[in-house]
Amino acid sequence: MTDVQMTLDEVHALTMRCLVAHGCDEANAGAVADVITAAERDGCHSHGLMRVAGYVATLKSGKVNGHANPTVEHIAPAVVRVQGDAGFAPLAHARGRSALIDTVKTQGIAAMSLVNIHHFAALWSEVEPIAEQGLCAMACVSYKPAVIPAGGTKPLYGTNPLAFGWPRRNHPPMIFDQASSVMARGEVMLAAREGKELPPGVGVDADGQPTTDPDKVLEGALLAFGGHKGSSIAMMIELFAGALIGECLSFEAAERDNNDGGPPQGGELIIAMDPNHFGDADGWADHAEKLFARIEAQDGARLPSSRRYKNREQSLSAGVSVSSKVHEQILQMCAQG
């Protein structure tokens, strides 16, 4: 089957149509469609249209509130909290972002906690608009257990991504956004579907034994990247996105979840800083560029996010190529709504 060529407007409209058909209001559907369209635009297909089925599953099961009305409040001078009203994360972000940015610009550093949300997106799309305002930002979110603590045998941590954005003067922000597992679960599923073996060191089977069989890893667990170091980062994310903000840890999210195929309820933490308040207001931007220039001067090295920005440039003029299977599945879901 050949891929389907779509404009970004068509991607957005199709996502909206499908979510609205399944009971989402325009505000919530629009916010989700924004992040799905951005993912397709930047070539991050694992968080693009293929996620629509998961979003729809949660609307159908009633787990997610398609009419969520997230509210924003300051719970400390430099802490903004968004109550997500059991909705999808994107509208909660859109509502809270300007309060966070304003607070960072006055306080120098601030955090935003998001509670009672359902998160199913890539994190770069959440730190990028903050970094575009001249701020550094870090975001982290947990999920359901898929990763074992170093030395252990049973999944306990989510794939727990961490994203970091750094603002640049004459370039889009530098952003990295990475899961805490060696390989994203979606990639393992893809290998299983294609009958491919995994490289060693990705995961273990249900008995905690190392395996390169993707089906066995899906029944078992993934390993954290970098051994105990990645494992500690996954743990930190559990604490930041859970214990710190009064939200659930990954294992608690799993206990509450109805396993409808969409994201569980949980929390997220964003921390942002204004580099103009840290003692080198005139120098920080050029100073950072010296580092970036030396990275890029090395053969084979690149800045994180440069792949996405290249894809973006192309998609903005030529549109995107969408898997016909995914396209067909969404059309069918639209008809069933």
Any idea what DSSP says for residue 208?
A: S
Q: CB of residue 60 vs ligand NDP: minimum separation in angstroms? A: 20
The interface region with ligand NDP, picked from 1-9, 113-121, 275-283, 314-322 by CB under 6 A, is 113-121
Lay out the site mask for ligand NDP across 70-109 (x = CB under 6 A, - = otherwise).
----------------------------------------
Q: d(Cα 275, Cα 119) in Å, to the nearest integer?
A: 28
Among 176, 251, 284, 292, binds ligand NDP (CB under 6 A): 176
Amino acid present at 97:
R
Does residue 296 carry a catalytic annotation? no
Using the rule CB under 6 A, is 126 a contact of ligand NDP?
Answer: no
Residue 146 in 3-state DSSP?
A: coil
Cα distances (Å, whole numbers) of residue 266 to 74, 113, 121, 226 = 20, 11, 13, 26
Task: Give catalytic status of residue 10 as yes or no.
Answer: no
CA atoms of 308 and 311, how far apart (whole Å): 5
- Distances from the Cα of 10 to the Cαs of 2, 36, 52, 119, 327, in angstroms? 18, 12, 14, 23, 11
Regarding 141 and contact with ligand NDP (CB under 6 A), the answer is yes
Here the tokens at position 14 are 């199709």
Cα 137 versus chain centre, distance: 14
Which of these segments, 67-75, 280-288, 302-310, 314-322, binds ligand NDP (CB under 6 A)?
A: 302-310
Using rule CB under 6 A, residue 302 touches ligand NDP: yes
- Tell which one of 55, 88, 120, 240 touches ligand NDP (CB under 6 A): 120
Residue numbers annotated as active site? 46-47, 187
Binding site for ligand NDP (CB under 6 A): 119-124, 141, 143, 159, 161, 176-179, 184, 302, 304-308
